[in-house]
Amino acid sequence: MSCMSWKSSLLAAGAVLVTTTFGAMAEPVVINVIDVAGDLQVSQPALEKFQAEHPELVSKFVFTQATAPELAGKLKAQQDAGRVDIDFVLTGNDALAAGMEQGLWLEILPKYADKFPNLKELYIPGAYLMQEMARGQAFVIDWYPSGPLLEYAPDRVKDVPNTPEALMAYCKANPGKFMYARPANSGPGRTFVMGLPYLLGDKDPKDPINGWDKTWAYLKELDSCIEYYTAGTTASMKELANGTRDIIATTTGWDINPRYLGIVPEEYKIGAFKNFTWVGDANYMAVPKGVSEAKLKVVLELMAYLLKPAQQAYMYDHGYMYPGPAIKGVTLDMAPKESQETIEKFGRPEYASLIADNPTEAPLDAKPLVAMFDKWDREIGAAKMKK
């Protein structure tokens, strides 16, 4: 497809293009992508579709993965040396926040606002809350309401707790049968903890140090009947599956995807607290400072492309970030057949009403989140962490 016909088709689809974007491009570029959020399992098909449709822009993508804590140091070293070889980053809140603190990200907005108009109208409200946290330095690529939810073995739990008080009573009556993973390394773990201030009526759910008196008291009491905390979510899922635990903290995605993968039995169920508040979560796409002008032009087009409905439909994936799409109007029937089959088999009909009928809040911002992790590690998990 020619550059001009590609522009015309994008304009017909409502895209906003910088008219000089491709005029001076002599040849397609290699785009180096690093993923520190596990997001490639969701978004890689959409990225590869961009390359397949536009070989005049991208000769290939090079995909690498790393842990969130190591990303900021890697980028800083490259930027200090004047040799940035990472062009496009997929990240969660953790590495995004670390990069923002150190000034590592290109400020996309407002400079390139003409390419990303009406974000508040584009994004699902919960996803837009997460988008605002990026402060113009990244875009939400996929989103989910997350939790807090409970997952349980229905053959062993006949009356799943639906209030924090009921969960406490269950835990005390069945020592060691409830578990949540370490919040600093577990989405379900931190969502469970961040959801408690709303359920317990703490004075400031966004201030874990000065506003969570009821939550910290609750977590310390709950600790008395928890055997230990796993270092990550998958280990807690395996303990539920093998019968060591009967109830664990989960999220929509961590409910659906492990059952699809066979880690957790298909027939296991979820329970929700009465009058709970969803604590959302998202993955982002960002660009480090120092990316060449030629590559930046392509990456900005890629970002705009990934926010279109046809590409957002890939975000249903196999339930990892269920529902997944961050923008409005993307329905399951638009997703690949495999995704539709996964959600049909492993999804929950009750999720639609749970999402519609309960409010959503953004998670803690970067500094309070780190403070929460530190306090939990010191005061709750220190003596009971399982490696």
User: Over pLDDT 90: what percentage of the chain?
Assistant: 82
Within 13 A of 18's CA, how many CA atoms are on the CB side?
Answer: 18
Place of tokens 């910088």: 18
CB 237 within 8 A of CB 262: no
Could you write out the DSSP letters of every residue in 178-204? EE---GGG-HHHHHHHHHHHHHHT-S-
> In the chain, what is the greatest distance between 2 CA atoms, to the nearest angstrom?
70
CA distance 380 to 374: 10
With bands split at pLDDT 50, 70 and 90, how would you rate the model's confidence at 3?
Answer: very low
Distances (CA, A) of 177 to 101, 244, 248, 286: 40, 7, 8, 41
Enter the pTM of the model.
0.83
Q: Are strands 278-286 and 138-147 parallel, antiparallel or unpaired?
A: antiparallel
pLDDT tens profile 219-251: 999 999 999 999 889 999 999 999 999 999 999
pLDDT at position 17, please? 38
- pLDDT tops 50 at residue 6: no
Handedness of CA 69, 72, 75, 81 (dihedral sign): negative
Q: What is the CA 202 to chain-centroid distance, rounded?
A: 25
pLDDT of residue 162: 98
pLDDT tens for each residue of 293-323: 999 999 999 999 999 999 999 999 999 999 9
Q: Is the pLDDT of residue 80 over 90?
A: yes
pLDDT digits (tens, 9 = 90+) for 110-133: 999 999 999 999 999 999 999 999
3-state class percentages of the chain: helix first, strand second, coil last, to nearest 5: 45, 15, 35
Domains in the chain with CATH codes: 29-144+281-344 (3.40.190.10), 146-280+349-380 (3.40.190.10)
- CA-nearest of 200, 220, 222, 221 to 211 is 200
From residue 251, how far is each of 191, 237, 345, 384 by CA, in Å?
8, 12, 17, 23
**What is the DSSP secondary-structure string of 52-70?**
HH-TTTEEEEEEEE--HHH
Per DSSP, what are the bridge partners of residue 33? 63, 88
84-119 pLDDT, tens digit per residue, is 999 999 998 878 888 988 999 999 999 999 999 999
d(CA 265, CA 151): 11
Cα(31)–Cα(49) distance, integer angstroms: 14
| Residue position matching structure tokens 């088709």 | 9
Residue 384's pLDDT is 81
**Lookup: tokens for 293:** 């002008």
Mean pLDDT (whole number) for 28-46: 94
According to the model, what pLDDT value does residue 50 have? 98
What lies within 8 Å, CB to CB, of 367 at 6+ separation is none
Q: Where are the alpha helices (DSSP H) in the chain?
A: 3-12, 40-53, 68-81, 93-102, 119-122, 125-133, 164-173, 187-200, 213-223, 233-241, 252-261, 293-306, 309-312, 337-346, 350-357, 366-376
What's residue 9's pLDDT? Answer: 37
